[in-house]
Structure 1
């Protein structure tokens, strides 16, 4: 059955992506929407099985690995301050207004804080694909978005640990902070000293595709280490990509990993987001879903844009960066699951927030298209980059 479902997903996602592109939208939008149509909510041709989730997880890890491979490290360094501003501003706005919204709809204080925290999460895996299609992944805006996503992930997880420690959860805040520090310290050391050495050693092996295999081993180990220490796996794979991008094997790894990823795993990831959507009982909470969706979109959009603007971007680029931060994706789903288990979210609110997360994910590509599609790299922008 899995084999048939994979065939259906690959066929449908490629056709839907092409239709979306012909209609002037990023192809990823079509892949997201076709997932909803294929899934249990509409046609029921594809089920949200555990093995499909695992394949999807590999897809998002590889997508962020490719983003790391294609990151301009010099641009990344230059946009550090901008990334910090975008990341922090993109947390403050949804956290504050999410808390207010929770109090308005009658949630207890801790649950209201948790709602704000969940709305503060960001996952740029969808944005990465849109940036690639729009030719902006290697731009100053792209580097800022990726840097802000790393900052966002770490800060939100730390605040989550802090909140749960006060909410009665069995959480050792000091240990959580220590794990994060150890993770970044270890991966920076490995990236600097070990990764180039491993690639050189594997390149000498008399087996096929030894370099690509070693790159994937590094990618998956970094992702596992990130997840083990409480950082999102996609951050680990992204850092692994950056590490390999600094070696002479960058071009070979990028070309072959893209072939593997976009042939199977990435289409499954995009489509599975729609497949996992559950719309049962949506009518009963329709106004709450609409209200929280608007809040989720606007707070990240405006917060991220404000952070970009005070960092020296023009308004069009600022709105584009804000739109790229809107998608909550798998990061928010993980936080929602933690909240459900810790009884900081009721089951009906959990179901509502799953739909809200899906809405933020679906609206992100067309929003980015509006602000990024007509903005090309101009001489004055190049001059601005040199000054930054």
Structure 2
């Protein structure tokens, strides 16, 4: 594992630099080098449980940093857009995915599940691409982050509803109640508890007390979120939002960013490529191409229509839509649930895993292309 970490960090940094030199976000290079190093190509890096655990820490820290960087004034102003983007960004892929599944002769439950799978969004990749371009605090970036929270909640509730209809042991009322409890408690803790915890830790006569307090808060919120059926990254993001209102924001941000980007975040991006399984890609390539195109276009169009309805320009709307395209780890989790529940067979599961990877890899260059035209002056390498 130690040797693999050395290889991952070395390769990720070089690949990220190469991507930037080619005019692309560094995160794209890290994703692609993971595929090259993983079992699908050279097999230098193995997809171990420990690697996945380190990867999970990476994405949690990434979203915590995003919360610390969020401009709350901008976040409030884009509230209407976030709701519209979240809702339409679910409805369009859901209906299109169901229609495509039905056209292939799939059972109603399977077709609905595929539509729901296409509706999921994970903005961790988008957050990194936006950070690199200096657009995380833009109105588009704020709308993407807000919509991601709404998307996560609605998709999980819809999944619980579908599983209850198809005979799964799921109580919809309990799922909705747990979500409501999470957000109520998380908002209260972010408002009252986070400032107190940081203030209590600050005078301790130990090294990096404030940063340690920030990490305690981050991981506690992430764990609480997952325990309540919400994605851990949403909990980490809310922890970052709460810490951003304190006097310790800059110190926590600078130190956590150093910890995250020196080890855990590169492992996260690389591990996505390492986990890719291309077995059966030749046999099922028409399905992969078709479902990938459907996944990209429906989320892009649906989210863009939501942003446009909220008053964004067409350019800004497309930027928001592009930021919602990546399905990432959220869709992988949902796909696993579908396989276990019998809503996906083994072949379709393999196809959808590759589709999720395609949406993840496509997102950084798509964001780069749209934002470079939308904000040419503010664009950074």
Q: Shorter-chain TM-score category?
A: over 0.9
Q: CA 1:31–1:113 in structure 2 vs 1: closer, same or farther (change >3 Å)?
A: same
Q: Please state how far the C-alpha of 1:311 moved relative to its aligned partner.
A: 1.1
**Deviation string, structure 1 residues 266-312 (Cα, Å, up to 9, x no partner):** 00000000000000111111100000000000000111111111111
- What residue in structure 1 maps to residue 202 of structure 2? 203
State yes or no: 1:268 paired with 2:271. Answer: no
**How many positions carry a matched residue from both structures?**
378
How far apart, in 1, do the equivalents of 2:113 and 2:358 lie?
19
| Residue equivalent to 2:336 | 337
Q: For residues 92-241 of structure 1, what are the structure 2 equivalents within 5 Å? A: 92-241=91-240
Render the CA deviation track for 1:31-79: whole Å, top value 9, x for unaligned: 0000000000000000000000000000000000000000011111111
Deviation at 1:377, TM superposition (A): 8.8
> Which string of whole-angstrom CA distances, capped at 9 and with x for unpartnered residues, describes residues 301-324 of structure 1?
111111111111111111111111
C-alpha distance in 2 between matches for 1:208 and 1:78: 39
Output the CA distance in 2 between the equivalents of 1:282 and 1:219.
Answer: 38
Query: What is the aligned-residue RMSD (CA, Å)?
Result: 1.1
Match of 1:245?
244
Distance in 2 separating the partners of 1:320 and 1:358: 20
1:365-376 equivalences in 2 (<5 Å): 365-376=364-375
Equivalent residue runs for 1:355-374 within 5 Å: 355-374=354-373
Q: Which runs of 4+ in 1 moved over 6 A?
A: none
Query: Matches of 2:174 and 2:308 in 1, distance apart?
Result: 36
Measured against aligned partners, the alpha-carbon deviations of 1:66-97 in whole angstroms (never above 9, x if no partner) come to 00000011111111100001111100110000
The separation in 2 between residues aligned to 1:210 and 1:324, in whole angstroms, is 35
Distance 1:377 1:364 in 2: 19
**Structure 2 residue 43 is the aligned partner of structure 1 residue 39:** no
Distance in 2, Cα, partners of 1:183 & 1:134: 32
Deviation of the 1:192 alpha carbon: 1.0
C-alpha deviation, 1:106, in angstroms = 2.1
TM-score (normalizing by structure 1): 0.96
CA 1:316 to 1:162, structure 2 compared with 1: closer, same or farther past 3 Å? same
Q: Which SS does the other structure have where 1:106 is aligned?
A: coil
Distance in structure 2 (CA, Å) of the matches to 1:281 and 1:192? 50
Distance 1:376 1:320 in 2: 11
Q: What secondary structure does 1:222 align onto? A: helix
SS of the residue corresponding to residue 9 of structure 1 reads helix
Structure 1 residue 375, shift from structure 2 partner? 3.0
TM-fit CA distance, 1:374: 3.7
SS of 1:284's partner is coil
Partner of 1:296: 295
Deviation at 1:104, TM superposition (A): 1.4
Gaps of 5+ in 2: none
User: Using the alignment, how far apart are the partners of 2:46 and 2:289 within structure 1?
Assistant: 26
The SS at the match of 1:132 is: helix
CA displacement at 1:376 relative to structure 2: 3.0
Q: How far apart in 2 are the matches of 1:213 and 1:193?
A: 19
Q: How much has 1:335 moved relative to structure 2?
A: 0.4
Helix, strand or coil at the partner of 2:283: helix
Alpha-carbon separation, structure 2, partners of 1:283 and 1:352: 11
- TM-score w.r.t. length of structure 2: 0.98
Deviations, residues 82-127 of structure 1 (Å, cap 9, x unaligned): 0001111100110000001111122100010000000000000000
Structure 1 stretches lacking a partner, 5+ long: 380-388
